[in-house]
Amino acid sequence: MFQMLVLCQANVCRSPFAQTLLANALSGDPGVRIASAGVQTRPGYELCQVAGRLLGTAAPAEHLSRPVSEELVMGSDLILTMEPEHSAMVSALCPSARHRTYTLVEASALAVEARARGMLSDPQWVRQLPEVLNDLRGLVPVPELQNPRGRWRGRLGPGRIADGHGLGYTAHERVLRQVEQHAKDLAGQS
């Protein structure tokens, strides 16, 4: 079983949104399991309404937040985060997981490049991701995304998908659209 872990701050918006999109994209592979957690959360919070609305019928019926743990990290073959600080937290929790931890933005950029080079053409490509991404790490620039508050606010740091909470509905939706685009790029659906 290949285990993927998606992390964000509170595990109520970005990570369960990406988890659902990736699970749907990879549903043809029964050997892949995708989980999500938060780097600074308490257990039991429900999925945010904006993410639920955008997911529609695909929204998980009973999602409840959970904090990341050493056990979750150690049991994961690939860890995807929404911000570089989340990746640093994973590395501090489990230094041995650093080589398989990426921001979603970085992982999607590396996966697009890997596909262009023919490195993910095997039907079992998901299981190759950690090794292939690690081989290309540092060779592909990590994109800086547009600030969800609007173009005039500039760009975010490389690899960062902002937290949409507290930004208003439009900016929050922009954040989730960024998550959606990078999940599709990672899954080879763009």
Q: What is the 3-state secondary structure (H, E, C) of 83-148?
A: CHHHHHHHHHHCHHHHHHEEEHHHHHHHHHHHHHCCCCCCCCHHHHHHHHHHHHCCCCCCCEEECC
Please check the confidence at residue 109 and state whether its pLDDT lies above 90: yes
Q: Does the pLDDT value for residue 58 go beyond 70?
A: yes
Q: Is the pLDDT of residue 81 over 60?
A: yes
How far, in Å, CA of 147 to CA of 149, rounded?
5
Decide if pLDDT at 149 tops 90: no
- Rounded CA gap, 21 and 178, in Å? 12
Structure tokens at 25: 């994209």
- pTM for the full predicted model: 0.93
Calculate mean pLDDT across residues 116-126: 92
Strand partners of residue 33? 3
Kindly report which listed range (36-40, 112-116, 141-145) carries the lowest average pLDDT score: 141-145
pLDDT at 127: 94
The mean pLDDT value of the chain amounts to 90
Rg of the chain in Å (alpha carbons): 15
* pLDDT of residue 147 exceeding 80: no
- What's residue 62's pLDDT? 87
Residue 79: the pLDDT is 98
Q: How many CA atoms lie within 13 A of 65 on its CB side?
A: 21
